[in-house]
């Protein structure tokens, strides 16, 4: 039986995961903050680097580099599972929060990585949510383009964090 998702150790992966029925749950800042907290927690518990992200109203884009024993499927299962559990508890509901599975693409090289980061950062502009990428709150854009440290812990590579 072949694995569902391609995995190569220490490679970067562009991930897209979508909410169930494309319900825009991430219009709620508390849902965004919960996801940011869980991405940060799992960065350390699953041992991965997060290169870039954007949290859109009904989907999330990530560039993740697994660094340990957990592959991309394990990492996404934990993130989505824990988010769903806490989100449902907060909203006193049950049921599915995300569509089953996720989409992934291996990042081939530096050029592909830069193009994917640009796609991620400009997704809110393309969707008409903001006029400029710098105006979107839940994105890694400001970290890269304005040296904003709001998501420093989330976006700084693990080896650099351990060196500080």
When divided into structural domains, the chain yields a total of: 1
Residue 159: give its domain's CATH number: 3.30.70.1290
- Read off the tokens for 117: 């980061």
pLDDT per residue as tens digits for the range 83-123: 999 999 999 999 999 999 999 999 999 999 999 999 999 99
Residue 72: predicted pLDDT: 94
Query: Residue 60: enclosing H or E segment and its boundaries?
Result: strand 59-66
1 located within any domain:
no
Assigned domain for 6 exists: no
Terminal alpha carbon distance of the chain = 43
The answer to whether residue 28 is domain-embedded is: yes
Chain segment 1-23, per-residue pLDDT in tens: 334 555 566 799 999 999 999 99
Higher pLDDT, 94 or 158: 94
The region that residue 148 occupies, defined by phi over 0 for left and psi between -120 and 50 for alpha, beta otherwise, is beta
Residue 159 lies in a domain: yes
Query: Is 4 inside a domain boundary?
Result: no
Per-residue pLDDT of 27-77, as tens digits, reads 999 999 999 999 999 999 999 999 999 999 999 999 999 998 999 999 999
Q: DSSP secondary structure string, 120-159?
A: HHHHHHHTTS-SSGGG-SSBSHHHHHS---TTHHHHS-HH
Task: For residue 24, give its domain range.
Answer: 13-163
pLDDT at 74: 95
How far, in Å, CA of 11 to CA of 21, rounded? Answer: 30
Residue at 19 is within a domain: yes
């Amino acid at each position: 039986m072949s694995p569902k998702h391609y995995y190569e150790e220490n490679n970067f992966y562009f991930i897209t995961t979508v909410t169930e029925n494309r319900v825009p749950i991430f219009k709620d800042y508390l849902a965004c903050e919960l996801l940011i907290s869980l991405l940060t927690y799992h960065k350390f518990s699953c041992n991965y680097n997060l290169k870039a992200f954007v949290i859109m109203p009904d989907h999330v884009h990530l560039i993740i580099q697994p660094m340990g024993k957990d592959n991309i499927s394990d990492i996404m299962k934990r993130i989505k599972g824990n988010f769903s559990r806490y989100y449902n508890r907060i909203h006193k509901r049950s049921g599915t929060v995300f569509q089953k599975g996720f989409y992934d693409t291996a990042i081939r090289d530096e050029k592909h990585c830069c193009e994917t980061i640009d796609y991620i950062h400009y997704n809110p502009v393309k969707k008409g949510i903001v006029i400029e990428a710098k105006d979107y709150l839940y994105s890694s854009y400001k970290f890269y383009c304005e040296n904003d440290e709001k998501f420093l812990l989330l976006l700084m590579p693990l080896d650099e964090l351990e060196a500080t």
